[in-house]
Every structure is written in structure tokens, then in C-alpha cells.
Structure 1
Amino acid sequence: MELVKVHPELRRLVRHVPLMPLRRPWFRRLARAAQRRLSPATVAEGARFHDAVADGVAVRVYRPEAGGSGAGMLWIHGGGLVIGHPSQDDRFCSSTARDLGMVVVSVDYRLAPEEPFPAALEDCATVWEWFQRCAADFGVDPARIVVGGQSAGGGLAACLTHRLHDGGGVQPRAQLLMCPMLDDRTAAKTELDEVGHWVWNNGLNRIGWRSYLGGEPGVTAPPYAVAARREDLRGLPPAWIGVGDIDLFSAEDADYARRLRAAGVPCELDVVPGAPHGFTSWGYRTSVAEHFVQRSHAWLARAAAVENA
């Protein structure tokens, strides 16, 4: 993809984001180890965090120092379903905790291909149940917990809302989906390989889905494995979907937003011109990324009934 299509603020930065050889086991091991050693220096002032274990699943808990609003968020990191760690989202999760007075619990879920579906989703469901039980200890109303995630985490967040909807009980207040990885059928469209998307291309996408599903993407998938394959979206919580218009996931995200609205689910779609995948992580200092996060926070405050945010 031509660099001229990238937002001017992001052009210099995106050139330094390498494409990852995810098919190599040694690289996945190296990336995972490096992510676990990321410095907590990106945690926002006015928030604190601690690592804990939620019924056998590791989590990172972010809390505001100035008191809470009674709202919470279960957050799920990205990484193509094969790498990733809560530490990579320290900046976003801690600023959300500080600015909105929310308690944010980020899930360190099991990764494919060593642990394919349903391992990651099972871990997220386990932490949801734990958060519900422990909500009062955090000063959180269990009925005001949002589910959110970025990239692969956004796809897992969407699948988790499906599973919780079908299971009954307390439902997520809303779902915040940042450039979510929603549809394995995108990976099967080999014509997209030639586009050469920045940061996350269709070749990497195919590796992620193949690792998670244990087979070729675009063929069949079990229930709750692929969010976009669910036919009935009625009754799901309100959603915010944010994505760049040159992101590989732009079309599938827009289609999912359209289907949610058609099913009667309130959904706000925020499409950023010239933004490649995950730009809020590697381009966080740019105004385009800052404004995007601010809009997500504004929606999140309304959805979780956070006053004076």
C-alpha cells in the first residue's frame, strides 16, 4: 500500500513498524517474552496497577488513585491471537482508569497455536465471572462493567458478549471494540494479500486465524470462535467500533456495525481516514490517535454512566 494513503501524522512512524514473522515459533517465543518485560513506565499518572490471578487466569488490574465512578471494564489485548500481553495496553488501560474513574481488568489469556480455540475465550469468560464476584471489593457495580478489546482482543470481546448473552445472567453494559479482528473469512480472500496493508497484512491475518481455529480460515468455525459468523445479533449490548479506513479490518468492522444496527443494537462506528492497524499503540503521541482515544473515552463514559468525565 502506498505511503501517501497513510495519515500525514502517521507516515514517519508507520515506516518503523516491522512486519512480524509470526509463523516462526522462535519469534513468537521472543515476542511474548519481550512483552512480559515491558516497563510499566507507560502507566498514566493518577492510576495504579497490580497483577493478580483470577481463578487461575493472570490479570492486570488498573485503578484510579482519585476514587472510582462505580464502573468497570474487562479489557482484552491484541496480538493476532498468537502473541500479546496486558502490559502492551498499560497506557490505554491506565488512562481509562484515571480519566473515567473505572477499574479496568486486563486478561492475560492463553495464546494459539499452543492453546487454540476455545482456550482464550474460556479465560476471558473465567475473568468475567471473577470480576462479577469481586466487583464490590473494587467498588464497582457489576451491572456497569463494559467489555472491550483491541484487534484480536476486540474480536474476543465481541465473542464473549455473544456467549454471555446466550448464557443469561448479568450482561456487559456495553462493548468497546478497537480495530477488532472479527471475521476469519477476510483471511481467506487471497486477493487482499496484494494490497500490502501496513502493520497487519492478510498473510499475518491468515496465520493468526489458522493458529486459533486449528484449520484453514474461511471454511468452518465452531460457535463463539468468530464474531462475524454469528447470524442473530439481536439483544447484544451497545457497541462502539473504531477502525482506520486503510486497516485490513475496515470492511469487516463496518459490516459488523451495519449488522448490529440492523438487529436493533445501538452502534457507533468511528472510521479514521489514513489510519493503519493499531495506530493508537505505535502512534499514541499524534493528535489523530489522541483524539480517537478521547472519542472512545467520551462514548465509554456515556455507556457506563460515568458522570463528570
Structure 2
Amino acid sequence: MTDVDRQAGTDSGAMALARPPFEPELGGLLAEMPSTPALDRETLALIRPFAASSPEPLLADRAVDRHDFAVDRSDGTRLPLSVLSPPSPDRAPCVYWMHGGGMVMGDRFSQIDIPLDWLEAFGAVVVSVDYRLAPEATGTSLVDDCYHGLLWVAEHAGELGVDPDRIVVAGTSAGGGLTAGVALMARDLGGPPLAAQVLICPMLDHRNDTTSSLQYAGGPGVWTREMNEFGWQSVLGGLDGDAIPGHLSPALADDLSGLPTTYIDAGSAEVFRDEAVAYATRIWAAGGQAELHIWAGGFHGFDALYPDARLSAQARRTRNDWLERVLTPERGR
């Protein structure tokens, strides 16, 4: 047993760390959720079908055009993308969306209601990518898929009705980590230029050893330290130490300068709280611009799971207000 495990209270002789309490409304909702089994390859196969999403109920009452594409990867396989847009967009802002699911589950329609709000509010074209999942795909395969899809969006901006100067990359949880990796790749590999990145409760650090990670070992919550360990080990595929690139585990990136303006949020009662704070702090230290919100009593993914809860509504409203300032600065003049 490692020192980290002992700090987390995972052996019978150690005391679990004190944890920030859940916001009362969210805590009540969480208590009504079915308990989540330990995450391993067997339970993953059972959970995956329930993590997939259908966009039809969300699109039924919206004026949204949907077009699905499959983009060639270098190995000859196809990368699915879905484009959701207002009718006849013309130099519209674009949100390139990366879904959550711990790197091991979900699809391009998971949590799609979040960017669909931006479509309605700002006339944004939403492009969502179906990156490959671990453990079937490992290493940089997932972030490479996401970057490949972003390049396709930039190359086809005119056809999509997208303003190439207003492309935002965004994602939640694992998708937030992939968003950070894609922004690093865009900086390091010569583009495309990005207007902003939105990192929602992002999965940024494979080391899984922050205070907040230790606090949420063994639960309670939607995503525990043990689940996080499974997700990271699944995607690392045996990579270790210096072999893990910063594009895959963004907290390892040596330099966070030159990134687009950034929005980061997380809950105070979740595994990813401290790595989100650390990432924002390092962006500021490098001279960049970041807005950080830690929502008191929020558990992982609270606003995706319970968007009508009061704290969720506040978190979404604050995020949307920030994105409006980025995408439509003329409204503030």
C-alpha cells in the first residue's frame, strides 16, 4: 500500500480526510441516485450503454439543423463528428465540444445540452466529436482524435458557416481534460487559432494525488478517486513517468503560456477541484487569462446531472455570461 493510499484512508487503520459538505439541495438529489458499482472492465461493459445519449429529445423543440460527418484518420478509420447549427449560419461562432465519461464511456451527444444552450443564446455552430475510448484506445489516441476533428472544423469553416476567428474548444470532465490537451496541441502544432477554451470540472492530472482526490477516495460522489484511477490507467495503457506527454495529462505541461482565454469551473466537493485550481494558477503565472469558479458544495458533474438545481443554474448562467463576453464583445460596449 502506498503513502497516498494511507492518506486517503483506504486501509482500515487510517482515518478518512474531512470533506467539504455537499450543497443541501444537491446532497439530497445525490442521495436519491442509485449507488455506483466499483468501476472495472466488467462493470464498464454494463455501464457503457447507459452512458450513451440520444440528441433527439433535446433537438425536438429547437430550430437546429443536424449534419453527421465521418472524417478520415491517418490509419484509414473514420472519426464521427456531428454538426448542430442554427438555420443558415453565416460567420457564426463555433463551439467544438468534447464529451465527458472518464475517458472510457460516453459519446458525442453526452452532455450536449450544455453547448446547445450556447447555440440558442449566441447562434453558435456546435461540432461534437466521437473520439475513441479507452481501454480499447490508449495513449494519445483520444486527444489526437479530438485535435484531428478540430483541424477539420477549421479547414471547413466556410462551408459550416463558422467564423474562423471565433472557434471555442469546450468539454466537461474527461472532455475538459481533452479540451486542455487540444488547446496545447493547437498552440504547439501551429493552430488553428482559438478564441477560448472552456474546461468544466476537467480531468487534468493522471497522478490523482491532490488533496481533493484523497478526500473523495471511497466516495461519496459521482466520480471517486478509485474511478479516476481506473479511467487514467485505462487510457495510459502502460505509459509511465516521462513517457506521459502533457497533451495527454495537461497538468504535466511545462509551459502554459500562449493559451487562449480560459474558463475553468468545478465543485468544492469533488476529485478535480484542486487540479482545476492549480491549472488556472499556472495559466496566471504564465501571464495568461483565466476565470476560475469553484462552486461551494458542488459534486462532480452536478450541473450536467441536475441542471435545474439552484447551484447548477447559477453555474451555467455564470459560464454562459462569460462566454457571451468572449464571443460577442460588442454587446458590452
Deviates more, 1:270-279 or 1:115-124: 115-124
2:40 aligns with 23
- The answer to whether the Cα contact below 8 Å between 1:187 and 1:209 also exists between their aligned partners in 2 is no
Once the 2 structures are TM-superposed, how far is the Cα of residue 93 of structure 1 from its aligned partner?
2.1
2:253 aligns with 230
Deviates more, 1:246-255 or 1:168-177: 168-177
Amino acid across the alignment from 2:21: K
Amino acid across the alignment from 1:87: F
Q: Partner of 2:299: helix, strand, or coil?
A: coil
2:179 aligns with 157
User: Does residue 303 of structure 1 match 2:323?
Assistant: no
Amino acid across the alignment from 2:35: P
Deviations 1:145-187 (A, max 9, x none): 0011000000000011111101113321110000000011125
2:109 aligns with 87
Runs of 4+ in 1 over 6 A off after TM superposition: 1-4, 216-219
Q: 1:266 aligned to 289, 307, 315, which one? A: 289
- The answer to whether the Cα contact below 8 Å between 2:107 and 2:130 also exists between their aligned partners in 1 is yes
- What RMSD in Å do the two structures reach over aligned CA positions? 2.6
Once the 2 structures are TM-superposed, how far is the Cα of residue 94 of structure 1 from its aligned partner?
1.4
Closer/same/farther in 2, CA of residues 291 and 37 from structure 1, 3 Å limit: closer
Aligned pairs (5 A) from 1:100-119: 100-119=122-141
Amino acid across the alignment from 1:135: A
Once the 2 structures are TM-superposed, how far is the Cα of residue 298 of structure 1 from its aligned partner?
1.2
Distance 1:17 1:294 in 2: 28
Distance 2:30 2:18 in 1: 12
Once the 2 structures are TM-superposed, how far is the Cα of residue 279 of structure 1 from its aligned partner?
0.5
- The answer to whether the Cα contact below 8 Å between 1:187 and 1:205 also exists between their aligned partners in 2 is no
User: Does residue 46 of structure 1 match 2:62?
Assistant: yes
Closer/same/farther in 2, CA of residues 217 and 294 from structure 1, 3 Å limit: farther
TM-score, length basis structure 1: 0.90
Q: Which structure 2 segments of 5+ residues have no match?
A: 1-16, 72-77
Distance 2:201 2:331 in 1: 27
Distance 2:169 2:60 in 1: 21
Closer/same/farther in 2, CA of residues 180 and 82 from structure 1, 3 Å limit: same
Q: Partner of 1:237: helix, strand, or coil?
A: coil
User: Does residue 202 of structure 1 match 2:225?
Assistant: yes
Amino acid across the alignment from 2:233: R
Closer/same/farther in 2, CA of residues 164 and 219 from structure 1, 3 Å limit: closer
Q: Which structure 1 segments of 5+ residues have no match?
A: none
Deviations 1:260-284 (A, max 9, x none): 0010110000110000000111111
Distance 2:118 2:292 in 1: 20
Distance 1:38 1:176 in 2: 23
Deviates more, 1:291-300 or 1:237-246: 291-300
Once the 2 structures are TM-superposed, how far is the Cα of residue 30 of structure 1 from its aligned partner?
3.5
Distance 1:182 1:70 in 2: 30
1:247 aligns with 270
Q: Partner of 2:244: helix, strand, or coil?
A: coil
User: Does residue 6 of structure 1 match 2:6?
Assistant: no
- The answer to whether the Cα contact below 8 Å between 2:98 and 2:128 also exists between their aligned partners in 1 is yes
Once the 2 structures are TM-superposed, how far is the Cα of residue 135 of structure 1 from its aligned partner?
1.2
Aligned pairs (5 A) from 1:176-215: 176-186=198-208, 191-192=214-215, 194=217, 196-215=219-238
Amino acid across the alignment from 1:88: S
Closer/same/farther in 2, CA of residues 294 and 115 from structure 1, 3 Å limit: same
Higher Cα Rg, which structure: 2
Once the 2 structures are TM-superposed, how far is the Cα of residue 307 of structure 1 from its aligned partner?
5.3
Distance 2:37 2:329 in 1: 39
Q: Number of residues paired by the alignment?
A: 308
Closer/same/farther in 2, CA of residues 234 and 3 from structure 1, 3 Å limit: closer
- The answer to whether the Cα contact below 8 Å between 1:43 and 1:91 also exists between their aligned partners in 2 is no
Identity of aligned residues (%): 33
Distance 1:45 1:7 in 2: 32
Closer/same/farther in 2, CA of residues 193 and 169 from structure 1, 3 Å limit: closer
Q: Partner of 1:106: helix, strand, or coil?
A: strand
Closer/same/farther in 2, CA of residues 219 and 132 from structure 1, 3 Å limit: closer
2:151 aligns with 129
Deviates more, 1:150-159 or 1:216-225: 216-225
Closer/same/farther in 2, CA of residues 218 and 271 from structure 1, 3 Å limit: farther
Deviates more, 1:90-99 or 1:50-59: 50-59
User: Does residue 277 of structure 1 match 2:300?
Assistant: yes
Deviates more, 1:299-308 or 1:155-164: 299-308
Once the 2 structures are TM-superposed, how far is the Cα of residue 304 of structure 1 from its aligned partner?
2.3
- The answer to whether the Cα contact below 8 Å between 1:40 and 1:87 also exists between their aligned partners in 2 is no
Once the 2 structures are TM-superposed, how far is the Cα of residue 118 of structure 1 from its aligned partner?
1.4
